[in-house]
Amino acid sequence: MPDFLDFMERATTGQILAENDYYLKVLIPNVTKVVREFGIRYDPANPVSSDDELADRLFEAAVEFVTRTGIYCGATNRVIEVGRDELLQAVENLPDGSTFGEGRDRRRFRARRPGDERPPWCHVGTGIVASSEEIATAQVEGYGGIPQASSISIPAFGRVRGMHVVGGSPLEIYATIGSVQAGRRALGRAGRPGLPILNLISSATTSMATIAGTHPDFGLRPSDGWLIDFLAEMKVDFETLNRLAFVHVTGGNVGSTALPILGGYAGGAEGTALVMTAYYLLGILLFRGAYHLTGPVHFRHGCSTTRDGLWVMSVAGRAASHNTRYPAIGLAYAAAGPCTKEYFYEAAAANLCCVASGYAGVQTVHPAKAVIEDGVTPLEALFNVEMAYAAAGVSSERASELVNRFLQKYEDIIGEAPKGKRYQECYDLRTGKPSEEYVRLHEEIKEELTQMGVSFRF
């Protein structure tokens, strides 16, 4: 099986092609053809698919698509070719899960199947920006306080000594190292020093900062996870490959990450499901990932919780869960923000969709597309865990029924979803507790969802 350096060689010797030509002459036509040849069809009536044959066809289609399309290296303007046999062999050779964390919080992360009774791995928190170290610490401490949290995602620092952090600048090095240190300290205070940090380092927009944040005295540990992204769509560059080279050589868990754009280069729901499944294969073979993190992002609404987004999430997850042992975390972006009813409905839909479709894990659904500074709180993380546990063992058919009902609550207003509140507007900074209003809203929603047929375990 080819290793990382073999792929580097292909990245410097493959067919040379302008980026736009790769999209127009290779990627787009291949998506259209493969979707047609394999009969992949979007089913809006069932936002959570239970079609196993479709899932298996989608997997086959993804193998064919990757073989025909390769992956584009933006740094060399060449296509990295990928062979069918090596893909299948890499899938065959996958280990049975990966291990993360230290001490009491050291755990094995394994694949799940659709409808699996076992609760999923709960990856809590969002890689969003915090305005200050104080708020970042309060957020992480809150996450650590959730007993079911299996791993966490720490916030990025938006400022250093009052100065706006600019990517690629020395401030980014300070922000990156500072955010990991603060995250660890907060986890210690929450009594969970061993909880693995699985989002690489949110503050690091460059490979240089990633590497800085990994310094053994200050940063991540090999039992954490390094998220490394594909560039949407079907593209890598040297920033990606530099991070990969570093983690491959020094040791650590690579989290292959793909957030395909629904309505982007892959087109509609069918094409997006195809590329989303293709990324699993490339994550296994090219990235040699320990885990995968994925979810579609709607190009117009910036979220994953649209009807077609959920369908894409469900079929791609089902295809991979049925055909590989690669543990994947489903990540959804919500349109609405903290302390709004709509956020809760969106998060409920996404959790049901992922857990029933066989995702090994779920991440806290990112509020308001994760673009608002301080726009995330631990109560969303708690609700996501409650919902993820409630979804374990629920069949896809049942999940689809429920998701259809949740969709009715927010589908029509998704373009004007409320932005919600920032941490300091619905949490007490002094005590780290949610406001009365927020606590009440959370209780009311759980009550309402229970009446709709969700069985919360806690």
Partner 1 sequence: MDKTQILENLAHAAIEGDEDLARESAEQALSNQIDPLEAVEQGLSKGMAVVGARFESGEAFLPELLMAAGAFDAAMEILQPEIEAQKKEITKLGTVLIGTVKGDVHSIGKNVVATVLGTSGFDVVDIGVDNATLDIIQEAKKAKADVIALSSLMTTTMPAQREVIEVLEEMSLRDKFLVMVGGGPVNQEWADEIGADGYGKSAVQAAEVARRLLGREG
Q: Which residues face 266 on adjacent strands?
A: none
DSSP-derived pairing of the beta strands 433-434 and 98-100: unpaired
Q: Which is nearer to partner 1, 24 or 429 (CB)?
A: 24
Query: Which partner in partner 1, ligand B12, none is near 259 (CB below 5 to 8 A by kind)?
Result: ligand B12
Q: Of 329, 277, 265, which is closest to residue 57 (Cα–Cα)?
A: 277
Q: Which is nearer to ligand B12, 17 or 231 (CB)?
A: 231
Residue with token string 């409920």: 348
- Give the type of residue at 375: G
Binding region for partner 1 (CB under 8 A): 23-24, 28, 31-32, 129, 156, 158, 164-169, 172, 203, 205-206, 231-232, 237, 239, 261, 263-268, 271, 299-300, 302, 369, 371-373
Query: Which partner in partner 1, ligand B12, none is near 127 (CB below 5 to 8 A by kind)?
Result: ligand B12
Residue 42 CB, nearest distance to partner 1 (Å)?
Answer: 12
Residue 156 CB, nearest distance to partner 1 (Å)?
Answer: 8
HSE-up (13 A, CA, CB side) for residue 435: 13
Residue 20 CB, nearest distance to partner 1 (Å)?
Answer: 8
Query: Which partner in ligand B12, partner 1, none is near 200 (CB below 5 to 8 A by kind)?
Result: ligand B12
Sign of the Cα pseudo-torsion (443, 445, 451, 454, in order)? negative
Residue 265 CB, nearest distance to ligand B12 (Å)?
Answer: 9
- DSSP one-letter code for 370: G
Residue 207 CB, nearest distance to partner 1 (Å)?
Answer: 11
Residue 436 neighbours by CB under 8 Å, 6+ apart: none
Query: Which partner in ligand B12, partner 1, none is near 343 (CB below 5 to 8 A by kind)?
Result: none
Token pair for 2? 């080819």
Instruction: Determine phi and psi for 234, rounding to 5 degrees.
Output: 55, 45
Residue 21 neighbours by CB under 8 Å, 6+ apart: none
Q: Which is nearer to partner 1, 147 or 415 (CB)?
A: 415
If phi over 0 gives left and psi between -120 and 50 gives alpha, with beta otherwise, what is residue 420?
A: left
Q: Which is nearer to partner 1, 46 or 203 (CB)?
A: 203
> In a 3-state reduction of DSSP, which class is residue 7?
helix
Query: Which partner in partner 1, ligand B12, none is near 247 (CB below 5 to 8 A by kind)?
Result: none
Q: Which is nearer to partner 1, 3 or 416 (CB)?
A: 416
Q: Are 312 and 276 in contact (CB under 8 A)?
A: yes
Q: Which residues face 71 on adjacent strands?
A: 80
Residue 104 CB, nearest distance to ligand B12 (Å)?
Answer: 28
Query: Which partner in ligand B12, partner 1, none is near 271 (CB below 5 to 8 A by kind)?
Result: partner 1
Expressed in angstroms, the distance from the first to the final Cα of the chain is: 46
Cα 407 from chain centroid (whole Å): 21
Q: Which is nearer to ligand B12, 318 or 369 (CB)?
A: 369
Binding region for ligand B12 (CB under 6 A): 127-129, 156, 167, 200, 202, 204-206, 229, 231-232, 259, 261, 297, 299, 302, 333, 366, 369-371
Q: Cis link prior to 447 (omega < 30° from 0)?
A: no
Query: Which partner in partner 1, ligand B12, none is near 32 (CB below 5 to 8 A by kind)?
Result: partner 1
Query: Which partner in ligand B12, partner 1, none is near 256 (CB below 5 to 8 A by kind)?
Result: none
Query: Which partner in ligand B12, partner 1, none is near 28 (CB below 5 to 8 A by kind)?
Result: partner 1
Residue 395 CB, nearest distance to partner 1 (Å)?
Answer: 31
Q: Which is nearer to partner 1, 207 or 256 (CB)?
A: 207
Q: Which is nearer to partner 1, 193 or 267 (CB)?
A: 267
Q: Are 379 and 124 in contact (CB under 8 A)?
A: no
Residue 228 CB, nearest distance to ligand B12 (Å)?
Answer: 7
Q: Which is nearer to partner 1, 174 or 291 (CB)?
A: 174
Kindly compute the dihedral angle of the four CA atoms of residues 388, 393, 398, 399, in this order, to the nearest 10 degrees: 20
Cα dist. 86→154, 228, 339 in Å? Answer: 35, 21, 47
Residue 105 CB, nearest distance to partner 1 (Å)?
Answer: 30
Residue with token string 């890499």: 90
Number of neighbours of residue 316 by Cβ within 10 angstroms: 33
